[in-house]
Amino acid sequence: MTSALLDRLKEEKIVAILRGVPKERGDAVAGALSRGGIVFTEVTMNTEGALDMIYSWREKFGERMRIGAGTVLDLGAAKEAVRAGAEYLISPHLDEKVVDYALAQGIGVFPGAMTPTEIIAAWKAGATAVKLFPMATLGVGYLREVRASLSHIPMLATGGVRLDNIREFLSAGATAVGLGGYLVNPALVREGRYETIVQNAADLVRAVKSYNEVTA
- Report the candidate in 63, 24, 28 with the shortest Cα–Cα distance to residue 47: 24
Query: In which element (H, E) is residue 86 found?
Result: none
Q: What is the pLDDT of residues 108-118, one digit of tens each?
A: 999 999 999 99
User: How deeply is 200 buried, as exposed, middle or buried, from its count of CB atoms within 10 A (0-12, 13-18, 19+)?
Assistant: buried
Q: How many CB atoms lie within 10 A of CB 20?
A: 14
Whether 182 is covered by a domain: the verdict is: yes
pTM of the predicted structure, to 2 decimals: 0.97
Whether 79 is covered by a domain: the verdict is: yes
Euclidean distance between CA atoms 59 and 77, whole angstroms: 20
Whether 213 is covered by a domain: the verdict is: no
Q: Name the residue range of residue 147's domain.
A: 2-208
Q: What is the pLDDT of residues 29-61, one digit of tens each?
A: 999 999 999 999 999 999 999 999 999 999 999
Euclidean distance between CA atoms 102 and 185, whole angstroms: 30
Whether 87 is covered by a domain: the verdict is: yes
- Letter for the amino acid at 83? R
Whether 215 is covered by a domain: the verdict is: no
Query: In which element (H, E) is residue 82 found?
Result: helix 75-84
Q: In CATH, what number is assigned to the domain containing residue 93?
A: 3.20.20.70
**Strand segments (E) across the chain:** 14-18, 40-44, 66-70, 88-90, 108-110, 112-113, 130-132, 155-158, 176-179
- Name the band, by pLDDT with cuts 50, 70 and 90, for residue 191: very high
The predicted structure's pLDDT at residue 2: 82
Whether 214 is covered by a domain: the verdict is: no
Euclidean distance between CA atoms 107 and 69, whole angstroms: 11
DSSP string across 167-186: HHHHHTT-SEEEESTTTS-H
Q: Looking at the annotation, which residues are catalytic?
A: 42, 131
**Strand segments (E) across 92-216:** 108-110, 112-113, 130-132, 155-158, 176-179
* Residue 1 confidence (pLDDT) above 80: no
Whether 175 is covered by a domain: the verdict is: yes
Whether 64 is covered by a domain: the verdict is: yes
The predicted structure's pLDDT at residue 216: 81
Cα R_g (the chain), whole angstroms: 16
Structurally, the chain folds into a number of domains equal to 1
